[in-house]
Amino acid sequence: MTLDDAESPDGSDKGDQPSTDERARERFDRIYNTLRIRICLLDYPPGQRLREEDLAEEFGVSRTPIRRVLVKLEAESLLRSVHGVGTIVTDIEVEELEQVYQLRLELAQLIGKLSPVAPDAAKIAAFRSLLARCEALLGKPDAREFARINMDFFHLLNSLTANEPLREISERLYYQTTRIWLKTASRLSQYTELLLNEIRIFHREVADIVDAVEVGDLQVVGYIRRAHISMSYLRLRNESRRSS
């Protein structure tokens, strides 16, 4: 019996086990997604220093994969290296993101034009489930849950196109802008009122998009998404200016 034919200690077929490269990729993705979410939920606020050794200890890995993750997050403008200080979380202001929002507007309407993926029953069910989460949020507003639902909604929308460059660019730009709402809202005295208003608007967007998905009109999905991104940016900009 060759090594390739051997079974693993638990009796399973060794050929079914993930390769070293696959395990390394899964580990990288897990750490990367965890850190990105922490940054976008402001668990790591702007200006916080991220230490390789601390993260390596937390995730039970060497510093090498941590360093690779930090390099990627820096390339995506979520982190930056400061000489003599280390790697810190970047700060953001809504006015600095105007060009990013402009590009997001143009990309949003391409969902239904570039390699659209017709939603099947499972996809439609996923959109309905997300709408139900939004409805529950209306009765019990929570900023972190709102941010998480928003992220899940983005990824669900992004799955409606098979165009990989569009998906990759859209994701990168989304994560550059998504934490600006929490950062802006946290500075405002009318935080609760602002949160409720944003949840109501978001609920309308999701409801309209679910209707379009159910009938299979992905071009309408793109147009709805574009309009809401535009209005969201204008609201954020106006709130930022009033609070400054």
Q: What is the mean pLDDT of the chain?
A: 89
**Looking at residues 68-72, what average pLDDT do you find?**
96
Q: How far, in Å, CA of 42 to CA of 139, rounded?
A: 24
**Domain assignments of the chain as residue spans, ordered by start:** 3-89, 94-243
160's tokens = 């409606």
Residue linked to tokens 């997300």 = 130
Tokens of 5: 């034919």
The third-level CATH classification (topology) of the domain covering 3-89 is Arc Repressor Mutant, subunit A (1.10.10)
Length of the chain: 244
pLDDT category of residue 37 using cuts at 50, 70 and 90: very high
Please answer whether residues 101 and 229 qualify as being in contact, where contact means their C-beta atoms are separated by less than 8 angstroms. Answer: yes
What fold characterizes domain 94-243?
A: Four Helix Bundle (Hemerythrin (Met), subunit A) (1.20.120)
Average pLDDT over residues 207-226: 96
Q: Comparing 3-89 with 94-243, is the CATH topology the same?
A: no
Question: 184 or 68: whose pLDDT is higher?
Answer: 68
